[in-house]
Amino acid sequence: MHSDQVVRRIHDLRQILTDHNYRYYVLDSPTISDAEYDALFRELMDLERRFPQFQAPDSPTARVGAAPASTFGSVPHEMPMLSLDNVFSDEELTEFVDRVRRLLGDVEPSWIAEPKLDGLSVELVYEDGVFVRGSTRGDGMVGEDVTANLRTVRSVPLRLRREANPPQRLVVRGEIIIGRGAFRRLNDERISAGEPAFANPRNAAAGSLRQLDPGITASRPLDIFLYDVAKPESVGLATQHELLEILPEWGLKVNPLFRPCGSVNDIRAFYRDMVAQRDGLDYDADGIVVKLDRFAQRAVAGQRSRSPRWAIAYKFPAQEAITVVRDIAVYVGRTGAVTPVALLEPVSVSGVVVSRASLHNEEELRRKDVRVGDRVVVRRAGEVIPEVVTVILPDEGAPRGPAFAMPETCPMCGSGLVRRGEEVVRRCLNESCPSRVQESILHFAGRNAMDIDGLGERLVEQLVERGLVRDVSDLYALTAEQLLTLELVGDKKAENLLRSIARSRQTTLPRLLFALGIPQVGEVTAALLAAEAGSLERLMGMTPEELQGIPGVGPEVSSAVAAYFSLSATAERVCRLKDRGVTWPDVITKPLEGPLSGKTFVFTGALSAMSREQAGAAVAELGGTVGSSVSGKTDYVVAGADPGSKLTKARKLGVAILDEEAFLALVGR
The CATH number of whichever domain residue 447 belongs to comes to 1.10.150.20
What percentage of the chain reaches a pLDDT higher than 90?
A: 44
**pLDDT(640) > 80:** yes
Give domain status of residue 310, yes or no: yes
Quote the distance between the C-alpha of residue 376 and its chain's center. 27
Statement to judge: residues 166 and 138 lie in one domain? yes
pLDDT tens digits for range 495-545: 999 999 999 999 999 999 999 999 888 877 888 898 888 899 999 999 998
Strand partners, 125: 133, 171
- Averaged pLDDT for residues 14-42: 70
Statement to judge: residues 120 and 188 lie in one domain? yes
Beta carbons within 8 Å of 139's beta carbon, 6+ residues apart? 665, 666, 668
Count CA within 13 A, CB hemisphere, residue 162.
4
- Based on the structure, what is the number of domains in the chain? 5
Of the ranges 80-89, 373-382, 386-395, 435-444, which one carries the lowest mean pLDDT score? 373-382
30: domain CATH number is 1.10.287.610
Statement to judge: residues 454 and 368 lie in one domain? no
What percentage of the chain reaches a pLDDT higher than 70?
A: 92
Give domain status of residue 26, yes or no: yes
- Averaged pLDDT for residues 239-255: 94
453: helix, strand or coil: coil
Give domain status of residue 541, yes or no: no
Give domain status of residue 579, yes or no: no
pLDDT tens digits for range 381-391: 544 568 888 89
Statement to judge: residues 107 and 209 lie in one domain? yes
Supply the pLDDT for residue 118.
Answer: 85
Statement to judge: residues 153 and 290 lie in one domain? yes
**pLDDT(257) > 80:** yes
Are 241 and 292 spatial neighbours (Cβ–Cβ below 8 Å)? no
**pLDDT(472) > 90:** yes
Statement to judge: residues 287 and 325 lie in one domain? no
**pLDDT(147) > 70:** yes
Nearest to 157 by CA among 93, 226, 107, 106: 226
Burial class (CB in 10 A: 0-12, 13-18, 19+), 158: buried
Pairing of strands 352-358, 320-332: unpaired
Strand partners, 344: 325
Taking phi over 0 as left and psi of -120 to 50 as alpha, with beta for the rest, 50 belongs to: alpha
Count CA within 13 A, CB hemisphere, residue 217.
30
Statement to judge: residues 103 and 161 lie in one domain? yes
Statement to judge: residues 329 and 292 lie in one domain? no
Predicted TM-score (pTM) of the model is 0.51
| Cα–Cα dist 639/254, whole Å | 29
- Averaged pLDDT for residues 87-106: 92
Give domain status of residue 231, yes or no: yes
| Cα–Cα dist 557/559, whole Å | 5
Angle at 563 between CA 561 and CA 564, to 5 degrees: 65
Q: What is the DSSP letter of 317?
A: P
Quote the distance between the C-alpha of residue 99 and its chain's center. 30
- Averaged pLDDT for residues 8-35: 72
Statement to judge: residues 371 and 455 lie in one domain? no
Residues marked active site are found at: 116
Q: What is the DSSP letter of 258?
A: -
Each residue of 614-635: b (16+ CB within 10 Å) or e?
ebbbbbbebebbbbbebeeebe
More reliable by pLDDT, 72 or 466: 466
Statement to judge: residues 181 and 276 lie in one domain? yes
Give domain status of residue 451, yes or no: yes
More reliable by pLDDT, 163 or 590: 163
**pLDDT(613) > 80:** no
User: Among the three residues 478, 503, 528, which one is the final residue of a domain in this structure?
Assistant: 503
Q: pLDDT band at 66, cuts 50/70/90?
A: very low
User: Among the three residues 460, 479, 503, which one is the final residue of a domain in this structure?
Assistant: 503
Average pLDDT, the chain: 86
- Averaged pLDDT for residues 2-27: 75
Q: pLDDT band at 199, cuts 50/70/90?
A: low
Supply the pLDDT for residue 597.
Answer: 83
| Cα–Cα dist 425/436, whole Å | 15
Angle at 99 between CA 94 and CA 104, to 5 degrees: 125
Statement to judge: residues 234 and 289 lie in one domain? yes
**pLDDT(274) > 80:** yes
Statement to judge: residues 148 and 36 lie in one domain? no
Give domain status of residue 519, yes or no: no
Nearest to 308 by CA among 323, 324, 295, 321: 295
| Cα–Cα dist 6/11, whole Å | 8
| Cα–Cα dist 302/295, whole Å | 11
Burial class (CB in 10 A: 0-12, 13-18, 19+), 609: middle
Give domain status of residue 222, yes or no: yes
Highest mean pLDDT among 2-11, 37-46, 446-455, 465-474: 465-474
**Residue 356: domain span:** 320-395+402-418
Nearest to 415 by CA among 427, 431, 428, 405: 428
- Averaged pLDDT for residues 204-228: 89
406: domain CATH number is 2.40.50.140
667: domain CATH number is 3.40.50.10190
Nearest to 26 by CA among 258, 235, 225: 225
pLDDT tens digits for range 293-320: 999 999 999 887 678 999 999 988 767 7
